[in-house]
Amino acid sequence: MDALEVVEILVFPGLTFFVWLAFVFEWLDRKTTARMQGRIGPMLAGPRGILQPVADFFKLTSKEEIVPQFSDKLVFEWGPPFFFAAPAIGTIFIPVVGLNAIVSSPYDLLFILFVLAFSTLMAGMLGYASAGRFSTISIGRLVLQYASFEIPLLLAIVSPAVAAGNLSISGIVQAQSNFHWFVFVVPIGFAVFIVSSLAELEKPPFDIPDAKTEIAAGWMTEFSARPLAYVKLTESLSYVFLSALAASLFLGGTAGPVLTNVTILQDGIYLAYFLIKVFAIGFAIFAIKTALARVRINQAANLFWTVLTPLSLLQLGIVILLR
Amino acid sequence: MSYLTRWSRKRSIWVFPVNAASCNGCDIEILASLTPRYDAERLGVEVVASPRHADVLLVTGTANSMTRGILKKIYEQMPEPRLVVAVGACALGAGVMRGCYNVGHGVDKVIPVNLFIPGCPPRPEAILFGILKLVGEHPRGQVVAKEQIGKVSTTEHEEGEK
Ligand code: SF4
């Protein structure tokens, strides 16, 4: 590993870039929600409130850290950085400039599945470690929700891999150049992926684990100050991560329909395509989450087990037959 | 305190509202200050679901013998630096409940209060004014005068009402 690679992983297009993107995403999320509700959203922090998530983050880091008496101190205090690490590591497998990611191996997708499972596991551990009543209820719901959305999500991720005949994300993106986007090949898989990622992100209509009106702030109830700042940042980062994953797997990622072979500024064009797609998927998720109300846990389980799992299986079958 | 800390504390105010035996009138007004007409979110106000996340405790209603202990407990659960705002005549000093057998004092006898917002109930403008004052922004002098804060400023709205 040389110096350039370290810079790539830590600054651009690695960690710093994605953290910046996460802040922008959270701002866009709040703005979109506000606009859809007829409000104007954050206005004072920075131009048009763009620094609002940054202000929230730094304010949280400067507050007093409370560790509940009966909590598991080790996990409670050291868990949030690990929680943050899951999507942060996942992002380095996603191509941002060019058709190759910083790190790519033939088994990327297996690792991505591990990252998705690990972040849910970390959330569960953090919730249990804080030993609050609301957190415990929330973790029960989280595990049940995870058990219902994991299989459709997994099958939805696998179908573009089957279509490309490749398990590496860079390989899947390369297979989609020349406007051969997999959203046209596996449309059901794309829809299932979006719905399941709403559940993974704990956003409405699947915000069952942190239902504000029922169980306070869910598994985050006992967190304050710096751990809370990390947890909130991780949530936005997962947002970006899942949007980027959807863009790479289904919408061709950095590969665009036109201007694929100019000699100058090729990297800039790749980056522009990537950002346009990520923000498009982000906006779709913001709109869905603002427009819908929460479903009950049994309705969510029903939806995933009886509708989305058969659909994603059907999709997988179709893709295997078409190959 | 560094500039960054001061700036971020001013721009990000997370509020946990508590109803300590109010008649609900004040709570409706707090709700109204979050709705499109006033939109407290443009100032960086966010209503959070847990006292552990909060910077400001918005107390409405007079603390009676039932809610006194709960109020104290919630206050103790908040991380420093914490601020308490008493909203409405009841929270200031029992208000219309004065003389009842189970009440007889304002919230400031239970927990330290940083800011009082009078009114029965206070108007949403008053609540926003109070929040801005709390973080050291004077709405009439500086912030509301700027176009960026949005269409509804305090004075504009009062003229429209007449
Ligand atoms: S101040 Fe007035 S509106 Fe507010 S709780 Fe008391 S009686 Fe109700």
- String of DSSP letters for chain B: --HHHHHHHHH-EEEEEEESS--SHHHHHHHHTTSTTT-GGGGTEEE-SSGGG-SEEEEES---TTHHHHHHHHHHHSPSS-EEEEESHHHHH-GGGTT-TT--S-GGGTS--SEEE-SSSPPHHHHHHHHHHHTT--IIIIITTSGGG-S--HHHHHHHH-
Q: Is the pLDDT of residue B97 over 60?
A: yes
When CB atoms are compared, the residue of A39, A48, A66 closest to B79 is A66
pLDDT confidence of residue A1: 64
- Would you state the structure tokens that stand for residue B155, as one six-digit string? 């004075």
Q: Which of B18, B19, B23 to mutate to test the pocket of ligand 1 (most atoms within 8 A of CB)?
A: B23
In a domain, residue A90? The reply is: yes
pLDDT of chain A, 323 residues: tens digit per residue? 677 777 777 777 778 888 888 999 999 999 998 989 888 888 877 788 888 898 889 888 888 888 888 888 888 888 888 888 888 888 888 888 877 777 778 888 888 888 888 888 888 888 888 888 888 888 888 888 888 888 899 888 888 888 888 888 888 888 887 777 888 888 888 999 999 988 888 888 888 888 777 888 888 888 888 888 888 899 899 989 999 989 888 888 777 777 666 667 777 788 888 888 899 999 999 899 888 888 888 888 888 889 989 998 998 888 888 87
Give me the number of domains chain A comprises: 1
Shortest Cα–Cα distance, B93 to chain A (Å): 29
pLDDT confidence of residue B111: 86
Average pLDDT (B57-69) is 86
Domain architecture of chain B: domains with CATH: 3-161 (3.40.50.12280)
Residue of B nearest to A213 (CA): B49
- Cα–Cα distance measured from residue A36 to residue B96, given in angstroms and rounded to the nearest whole number: 39
**Residue A102 Cα distances to A229, A239, A267, angstroms:** 27, 20, 14
* pTM to 2 decimal places: 0.85
In a domain, residue A6? The reply is: no
Q: Is the pLDDT of residue B142 over 50?
A: no
Average pLDDT (B122-141) is 74
Distance in Å, CA B92 to ligand 1 centroid: 10
In a domain, residue A49? The reply is: no
Distance in Å, CA B106 to ligand 1 centroid: 12
Check residue A253 and give left, alpha or beta (phi > 0: left; psi -120 to 50: alpha). Answer: left
- Residue B113: pLDDT band with limits 50, 70, 90: confident
In a domain, residue A108? The reply is: yes
Number of Cβ within a 10 Å radius of residue A4: 8
Q: Does B42 touch chain A (CB under 8 A)?
A: yes
- Answer whether B118 contacts ligand 1 (Cβ < 6 A): no
Q: Does B83 touch chain A (CB under 8 A)?
A: no
**Residue A258 Cα distances to A98, A177, A255, A261, B109, angstroms:** 15, 10, 9, 8, 70
Q: Is the pLDDT of residue B148 over 70?
A: no
Question: Domain range for residue A252?
Answer: 68-322
Distance in Å, CA B124 to ligand 1 centroid: 14
- Residue B127: pLDDT band with limits 50, 70, 90: confident
pLDDT digits (tens, 9 = 90+) for A180-210: 788 888 888 899 999 998 888 888 888 888 8
Q: Side by side, which strands form the sheet with B13-19?
A: B45-47, B13-19, B56-60, B83-87, B115-117
pLDDT confidence of residue A48: 82
Q: Is the pLDDT of residue B141 over 60?
A: no
In a domain, residue A7? The reply is: no
- Residue B130: pLDDT band with limits 50, 70, 90: confident
- Cα–Cα distance measured from residue A213 to residue A223, given in angstroms and rounded to the nearest whole number: 18
- String of DSSP letters for A112-167: HHHHHHHHHHHHHHHHHHHT-HHHHHHHHHHHHHHHHHHHHHHHHHHHHHHHHT-S
In a domain, residue A79? The reply is: yes
Q: Using CB atoms within 10 Å of the CB of residue B158, give its burial: 0 to 12 exposed, 13 to 18 middle, 19+ buried.
A: exposed
**Residue A60 Cα distances to A18, A63, A88, A322, B82, angstroms:** 20, 5, 20, 52, 12
In a domain, residue A9? The reply is: no
In a domain, residue A148? The reply is: yes
ipTM above 0.95, yes or no: no
